[in-house]
Amino acid sequence: MTGALKNRIWSGYLIAFLLLSVSYFLIFFIVRKLSAEADGVSHTYTVLNNLEKLKGNITDAETGARGYVITKDIRFLTPYENSLKDVPKTYNTLHALMQGNSSQLQKLDTLNRLLNKRLDFISTGLAEFKNNGFVITDDMKAKQELTKNTMDSTRLYITKMKNEEESLMLERKTKLSNFFSNTVLITIASLVIAVITLLYSIILYQRQSKAREISDKKADQYGTELQELKRIEKFAATGRIARTIAHEVRNPLTNIALATEQLQEMATTNPDSTMLLEMVSRNANRINQLVSDLLNATRFVQLIFTEIDVNQLVDETLEMARDRIELKHIKIEKDYSNELCNISVDAEKIKLALLNIIVNAIEAMEKEKGVLLLKTKKQGSKCIIEIKDNGVGMDDDTLQKLFEPYFTAKSDGNGLGLTNTQNIILNHGGNIKVYSKPGEGTSFQVILNIADNEAEKLAKGNLLPIV
């Protein structure tokens, strides 16, 4: 990941964090305001209830006193007596609630004087009524108008105070509604920021995953190319060693063979000498043949190119191994590509290379249990032939040495079959891959160029300069 990309990632997350922090701070601030305004509305309702209670107290006092005067029943004085206790309590409650509101406190003080004045009128009237033998006097009648005016003023002040509180409540409700609206907007904005941050994270993750995937593919590709280069280098080194050995060994062998022939002509009368000389000659010929086989497996191959369909080529190779297949009762499965996949190759030599692989696969499988899968497919400018068995498989150590000359796990093998196979395929500009695990079988992939590509170039040059 480049430094610029890292900076963009961190910048994006930092901006998102700051925006979310600001939105959450605003939400916190508005919630506090909502709580304060809600408390204000609740406070107003409490004030209104107490004003109504105060009005009810003075009304109850008047009603009780009037009932007592009319009926002369002392029980009617109970509301009046209760009001004498409740009015001061309600006043004190309102006085505490209205702290901080000077206008309402002034009205409350005036109201309190009116209430006390009204209660004094009632108290004086009741006392005068009792003292005059429960008879309404002219003086009491004269005071009725003053009493009415006091009561009207009391109701008026209570109404004014209620109107002012209702006005405050309406203002607080408006603020409350605005705060609610702002809270919704900020919440939506926070949600949008969160969604954008999530999308930003997903996009960054996808970009990083894609970049990582591309890097992994490149690494795998480089690893595969490196392995192929090592294999080609190893093959080239083997060829150079083989030619050096052939040059250094064949000259002495030729001298030994010539000397042996002369000694055989001279030692005609001695049977033991003849037998020993024949032994020397036979082993010299054997060494010479081994050197020739090694050279044939690692040298440049003279190729005669023809164009052939890959499916036909595999079928013809399979026919060459028909006897071995029937002898071990091997089941053949084919998965040929329907796409036209012609390759330009030396057909006989490619068949020999494929035959070596098929024979090895047959020998690795149990009789009557073996399944040989032959698959072809076109991939870009390449044609792939896969030969897969369900045999014993190979471990990693065997896979590393598989194409080395004279390496074999067979008791009767010379270890040059797959070396020769690799030589043929590499000389065609192709590639060979092996996948295997012990107990899970082995899969060979032969990758060749489609006709009119690299194979055509090889046909013009006839040789692949890899050694």
Query: 370: how many CB neighbours lie within 10 A of its CB?
Result: 21
Q: Is 93 inside a domain boundary?
A: yes
Q: Let me know whether 336 and 452 are in one domain.
A: yes
Residues 6+ apart with CB under 8 A from 437: 393, 394
Cα separation, 339 vs 86, in Å, equals 104
Please state whether beta strands 342-345 and 306-309 pair in parallel, antiparallel, or not at all (unpaired). Answer: antiparallel
Cα separation, 399 vs 435, in Å, equals 8
Most confident option among 62-76, 226-240, 286-300, 408-422: 62-76
Q: Let me know whether 164 and 29 are in one domain.
A: yes
Q: Let me know whether 325 and 201 are in one domain.
A: no
Span 235-249, mean pLDDT?
62
What tens digit of pLDDT does each residue of 50-77 get? 888 888 888 888 888 888 888 888 888 8
CATH value at residue 445: 3.30.565.10
Answer with the one of 206, 236, 252 that is the final residue of a domain.
206
Domain residues for 114? Answer: 3-206
Residues 6+ apart with CB under 8 A from 261: 281
Q: Let me know whether 313 and 427 are in one domain.
A: yes
Q: Buried b / exposed e across 43-77, counting CB within 10 Å, b at 16+?
A: bbeebeebbeebbebbebbbebbebbbeeeeeebe
CATH value at residue 69: 1.20.1330
Q: Is 40 inside a domain boundary?
A: yes
What tens digit of pLDDT does each residue of 110-125 get? 888 888 888 888 888 8
Q: Let me know whether 143 and 32 are in one domain.
A: yes
State which amino acid sits at residue 417: G
Tell me, what's the pLDDT at 467? 36
Tell me, what's the pLDDT at 55? 85
Q: Let me know whether 324 and 179 are in one domain.
A: no
Q: Is 30 inside a domain boundary?
A: yes
Q: Is 216 inside a domain boundary?
A: no
Report which secondary-structure segment, H or E, holds 260. helix 138-266
Query: 26: how many CB neighbours lie within 10 A of its CB?
Result: 17
Q: Is 328 inside a domain boundary?
A: yes
Q: Let me know whether 173 and 39 are in one domain.
A: yes
Are 402 and 394 in contact by the 8 Å Cβ rule? The answer is: yes
Answer yes or no: pTM beyond 0.75: no
Tell me, what's the pLDDT at 230? 65
Query: 108: how many CB neighbours lie within 10 A of its CB?
Result: 22
Q: Is 358 inside a domain boundary?
A: yes
Q: Which residue would you say has higher pLDDT here, 55 or 25?
A: 55
Q: Is 421 inside a domain boundary?
A: yes
Q: Let me know whether 308 and 198 are in one domain.
A: no
Answer with the one of 172, 206, 240 that is the final residue of a domain.
206
Report which secondary-structure segment, H or E, holds 377. strand 371-379
Q: Let me know whether 200 and 312 are in one domain.
A: no
Answer with the one of 187, 206, 225 that is the final residue of a domain.
206
- Give SS3 for 394: coil
Q: Any idea how long the chain is?
A: 467
Give helix 347-364 / helix 310-320 axis angle, nearest 10°.
Answer: 60
Q: Let me know whether 309 and 201 are in one domain.
A: no
Cα separation, 89 vs 102, in Å, equals 20
Domain count, the chain: 2
Q: Is 467 inside a domain boundary?
A: no
